[in-house]
Amino acid sequence: MASINLIESFQEFKDAENIDRPTMMKVLEDVFKTLLRKKYGADDNFDVIVNTEKGDLEIMRRRTIVEDGQVEDPLAQIAYTDAVKIEPDYEVGEELYEDVDIHDFGRRAILAAKQTLASRIGDLKKNGLVKKYTDRVGEIISAEVYQVWKKEVLLLDEEGNELLLPKSEQIPQDYFKKGENIRAVIKKVELKNNAPVIILSRTSPLFLAKLLEIEVPEIFDGLIVIKKIVREPGERAKVAVESFDDRIDPVGACVGMKGSRIHGIVRELKNENIDVINFTNNINLLIQRALTPSKITSMNIDQEKKHAEVYLKPDQVSLAIGKRGVNIKLACELTGFEIDVYRDAEDEQDEFDIDLDEFTDEIEGWVIDELKRVGCDTARSVLELTTEELERRTDLEKETIAEVRRVLKEEFEKE
């Protein structure tokens, strides 16, 4: 029996994910039928037989025996005289089967066949990988850090497939070391230069949604639904949730006893503050909840222009806006409304005060910390004490106290 050893190629097939036996047989048949067409012009009368266990292959040629001189198609017919030379018992009208010595194709043709086979295997692997990860888009995956570059991190899944986590999809506080396992959500699958590229993300709202699904059984079971998530990765996130069961408090279920369920997620997201709020179709109430942790006094809403004017007590304004404006930005994204924040003018003279942290550009941090140590955490609380009292109660020098009082007074005069 003429055969060619293809064990290495078969092994590649076995190692390739999602390539089943029928597909493998079909690919091998196609490769060798191409060889037959090149050599004989047609492949209709040839059978390619593959032994996947042993890793060998044979080709059988099938022809009908006809009377001498009546051969019209040499590929499909053989003269009786030639047939009996192969096997004396043959008779006219029978089918003659004979092995085709694959080495007759020539060394170059066999090499080309193996290269074509390797190429087809590669294509099947790529297609299998694309299908596998396209079907898993939106799922959380745990992968090992293989290489850390400036603009991206290369990871390997449990089967050794390469995954990419671009810098833009990393939380700003993320720091990875080779060999550690990290979690991310599968964001998309792209084809670059005919090669699949699997992109992961840790900044996508979907990543937070899937983490909540893992930690909160009620979400996984569909008793609580996440209506919307907005994030400023690494800083703050707002999650609007709704319960389909009146007996379940969706916010309490998501946060857990003493924050047990949310703490793990906060750590995973590098201490990102997560505000979980009850979703409602009442836009006034939704805006009020979205501006957590501030407390609103009143508001005016223009439904057509999707605009809201929100009034708060002076000490609540900075809370509503948040650090670098993150809180109000996320509230706008969550509600779909453009929100403007104003100080409530009513009784402002009596109530207006400013948090000392708002003066960090003009007053050094250690000075603010010293004032807070003695219970002065707002501008008015500092000004209510005399210079002598402040000098006695703090470790600040007289000149420093005078400068602080000047800065605070100027701010009130501006207001």
Q: pLDDT (tens digit, 9 = 90+) per residue, 290-325?
A: 998 888 888 899 988 899 999 988 888 888 888 888
346 burial (CB, 10 Å; 0-12 / 13-18 / 19+) is exposed
Q: Report the pLDDT value the prediction gives residue 3, as an integer from 0 to 100.
A: 42
* Positions of the chain with pLDDT under 70: 1-25, 50-57, 102-104, 106, 345-352, 414-415
- Structure token digits, residue 88: 């004396």
Q: Report the pLDDT value the prediction gives residue 393, as an integer from 0 to 100.
A: 80
CATH code: domain 143-201 is 2.40.50.140
CATH code: domain 280-349 is 3.30.300.20
Sheet of 236-243: strand order equals 224-232, 236-243, 273-278
Q: Report the pLDDT value the prediction gives residue 7, as an integer from 0 to 100.
A: 44
Q: Report the pLDDT value the prediction gives residue 225, as an integer from 0 to 100.
A: 94
Q: Report the pLDDT value the prediction gives residue 2, as an integer from 0 to 100.
A: 37
Backbone angles phi, psi at 278, to 5 degrees: -75, 125
Q: How many residues does the chain have?
A: 415
Cβ atoms of 182 and 283 closer than 8 Å: no
- Domain 7-131, CATH class in plain words: alpha beta
Cβ atoms of 96 and 77 closer than 8 Å: no
Rounded to two decimals, what is the model's pTM? 0.63
Cβ atoms of 391 and 401 closer than 8 Å: yes
Q: Report the pLDDT value the prediction gives residue 297, as an integer from 0 to 100.
A: 87
- Structure token digits, residue 350: 């009596």
Backbone angles phi, psi at 353, to 5 degrees: -150, 160
> How many angstroms separate the CA atoms of 120 and 123, rounded?
5
